[in-house]
Structure 1
């Protein structure tokens, strides 16, 4: 297939199904896209992504395209240059066709915003696609894209991947560089990463995104992942953390579908052990929401304090920013001490296990009109993001995580995912486990959305 053929098929697929799910936004002019594809066919091959259409998550800058971040404050603002990650994708030959939808400023794992509206779950219209990489995950599930970028602070590559029956990876923090702007030393919670319908594409995209940037003080370099993903999961030691000893309320069926997948992994040669809680969940949560609010507050304080811009921020954003701005240095320090203690505990756990496993979400995809779930299994959620607590153990430490699809069973037969968490730097080892799982199950092809 030529780049021109692929672009034509992509544009047609978007025309057929995007109106239903609303995953791809700010789509470029078709004539311009076809001309760029034709130029790719006529020019020298530039990399494995040569001529491949890709849409960039609407939190990142792609030159010539709007970066709204889902906020009315930035709607229509056109990026003058590519972010580091986008430039690397273009250098590998990708053709940027548009953006993928995201919540306002990426806050909350539910893709809805006042600029582009809500992204619907491809498997159940009227339900959430998750977030904040919900547009990317839905576009992959629908076949509008072959690979996609995303970002993850609090499950934003894992929750939507699970809810859309695709693969999403939060890499080891520092492996994929962020933008060298503002503070580059203190904030170590969010990272860019890849999404795909299979682990080999996931690994290839990670290898393209990854690599040192001399402008960043915590850069991390490691060998390419794609050549290392063969080999299966025979002998892999998996620690199943379940609902963290009852600390994490979960919808009915979430643990069952996760445990069924783990039994299948045992049949593939893995050794699965049910592990009691490794650390105090309340201490971990308090540490997380302190460090998260601090990072969000520092990033968005200028908008919050400007009376002309303040009113355009959603309520949850205002709450998070105000909370972050009110923190003292000693409170942030205390939260980081807890994080440090959890890291030492996790290092010890990885002497016993190669992988720690948790569900990718505590709840099945919910009504798309909700702003966020108010309760899970009868337990009231005390913040707008408490329902995502299951992703915090890995996020707090910057550990690599791959979401693998594990089947269907939620309301309207919606999908679920499982987090496979590794020690720092174990990205390729996790992808090897994911590849073995994919070869045995291939959930993305086994159950595709019934669209168009």
Structure 2
């Protein structure tokens, strides 16, 4: 018998399977019970296949009984983001164009999960082609917030964040272009990390030199994020831009960084670069105050990221048109309007426009390199708003000020995306209505381990938050 529950950490669950306290089959059944309890309302996991999962859990148990070498995630139930290819499973991208598509290969991220010993149970829901930070699509419907089902779970890794927060899975993968690992983590009260560019290699890609989106880990705590990153990270010969550090560089145990003397820059809005809901701003200010009280050297400072908006929008539109333009032409009525508009925004772009975007991105990277010569981390909002009503595609106003389009409310995340720096969202408080709010921590490019250690310290500091 064991006191293990679906709320136990992923590290505790993996250790329990490893030492025989619980079998992979028993652990799977605990999670299938939770999925049966919560998923009908929340709609986080799609393409669920309990019988295939049970068969795989039995194989995992037999492998352990035979004394075979097992991976660090051996026996852990896992649902893969529906934009990531898992061989033999539906791979819909949340699009009616691919509603009947079944993957014929594992992509690299999934290869690594399989090699680490997970037990696949299904996929996690996404917006169409991971576009937008609210998870709904015409194939599977909307994913609801586990704290308040009348609210959005965020996106595009909204199914993943919701499944984590509600105990359906102990770990989750995701991807992040404009905040898709961080925004849903903030909305659902979990931890989501966008690693440094090149930290989690991707294959296959239509363009190995396109570096707007990255894969990464989500979990209910920072230590579990480190565990999953240790599996996902590391070089691969098929990914020429992959960083060279081995994945084990990030493996637990993870010692929280000393807060005393930590040089923390903080900004609510990067110098009035975007509007932030006052309830979110209050949580960021309270976190900064807690760090200062604990001995951190907290200063109000921010890098000049004024080029970030044009850079992100240009490169996003170019990427969407290059990847999806032909599909839109062949299926002109099969895309949601906001996604179609973003694809079409890439059509008039010239070589000079794209060159400008990359030149600006180079400048932004240099700005951050210089900024982190004086600061250890940057603290700012993850999302500019708390979870909004599930019926809305995006928040149309913030503090009464109208948002010009469906991207403007995500600037606090995508301004960081185009710098290439690692960023992590850590739960930091709630609104007066009880909705989760995360804070975003950013470090210099390549400093993923340092960022995890700082995040662990912040998580520990805030553990007694009301």
State the TM bucket, normalised to the shorter chain.
over 0.9
Within the candidate set 17, 24, 32, 1:3 is matched to 24
> SS at 2:151's partner residue?
strand
Match of 1:220 in 2: 243
Matched residues in 2 for 1:251 and 1:119: separation? 23
Match of 1:31 in 2: 51
TM-score w.r.t. length of structure 1: 0.94
Most deviating of 116-125 and 369-378: 369-378
1:75 aligns with 2:99: yes
Superposed counterparts of 1:179-190, under 5 Å: 179-185=203-209, 187-190=210-213
Contact 2:203 2:238 in 1 (8 A): no
Match of 1:41 in 2: 61
Matched residues in 1 for 2:441 and 2:347: separation? 34
Match of 2:86 in 1: 62
Match of 2:354 in 1: 332
Unaligned runs of 5+ in 1: 448-452
TM-score w.r.t. length of structure 2: 0.91
1:174 aligns with 2:198: yes
Q: Deviations over 1:127-167 (max 9, x none)?
A: 00000000000100000010000000000000100111110
Match of 1:209 in 2: 232
Contact 1:59 1:69 in 2 (8 A): yes
Matched residues in 2 for 1:123 and 1:227: separation? 29
Match of 2:448 in 1: 427
Which one has more relative contact order, counting CA pairs under 8 Å at least 6 apart?
1
Contact 1:228 1:428 in 2 (8 A): no
Q: Deviations over 1:239-277 (max 9, x none)?
A: 1021122221111211111111122223343221111x4
Match of 1:191 in 2: 214
Deviation at 1:284, TM superposition (A): 2.0
Matched residues in 2 for 1:170 and 1:188: separation? 13
1:262 aligns with 2:288: yes
Contact 1:229 1:429 in 2 (8 A): no
Match of 1:436 in 2: 457
Superposed counterparts of 1:134-173, under 5 Å: 134-173=158-197
Matched residues in 2 for 1:284 and 1:34: separation? 47
Match of 2:373 in 1: 351
Aligned residues: 438
Contact 1:233 1:269 in 2 (8 A): no
Matched residues in 2 for 1:192 and 1:88: separation? 12
Deviation at 1:280, TM superposition (A): 5.0
Deviation at 1:45, TM superposition (A): 4.3
Matched residues in 2 for 1:174 and 1:218: separation? 6
1:240 aligns with 2:266: yes
> SS at 2:95's partner residue?
coil
Deviation at 1:208, TM superposition (A): 0.4
Matched residues in 2 for 1:399 and 1:247: separation? 19
Q: Deviations over 1:40-83 (max 9, x none)?
A: 11213421111111000000011111011110000121111111
Match of 1:100 in 2: 124
Within the candidate set 389, 393, 412, 1:371 is matched to 393
Contact 1:195 1:202 in 2 (8 A): yes
Deviation at 1:317, TM superposition (A): 1.2
> SS at 1:259's partner residue?
helix
Deviation at 1:179, TM superposition (A): 1.7
Contact 2:283 2:428 in 1 (8 A): yes
> SS at 2:264's partner residue?
strand
Let me know the Cα RMSD of the aligned residues. 1.6
> SS at 2:97's partner residue?
coil
1:19 aligns with 2:45: no
Contact 1:147 1:197 in 2 (8 A): yes
Matched residues in 2 for 1:90 and 1:435: separation? 27
Matched residues in 2 for 1:74 and 1:419: separation? 34
Most deviating of 217-226 and 113-122: 217-226
Deviation at 1:181, TM superposition (A): 3.0
Match of 1:450 in 2: none
Task: Call closer, same or farther: CA 1:203–1:329 in 2, change over 3 Å.
Answer: same
> SS at 1:351's partner residue?
coil
Deviation at 1:231, TM superposition (A): 4.2
Q: Deviations over 1:295-327 (max 9, x none)?
A: 111110111221xx1210111111111111210
Contact 1:238 1:355 in 2 (8 A): yes
Matched residues in 2 for 1:35 and 1:332: separation? 49
Deviation at 1:439, TM superposition (A): 2.7
Matched residues in 2 for 1:374 and 1:89: separation? 38
> SS at 1:125's partner residue?
coil
Contact 2:423 2:440 in 1 (8 A): yes
Matched residues in 1 for 2:115 and 2:102: separation? 21
Contact 1:22 1:118 in 2 (8 A): yes
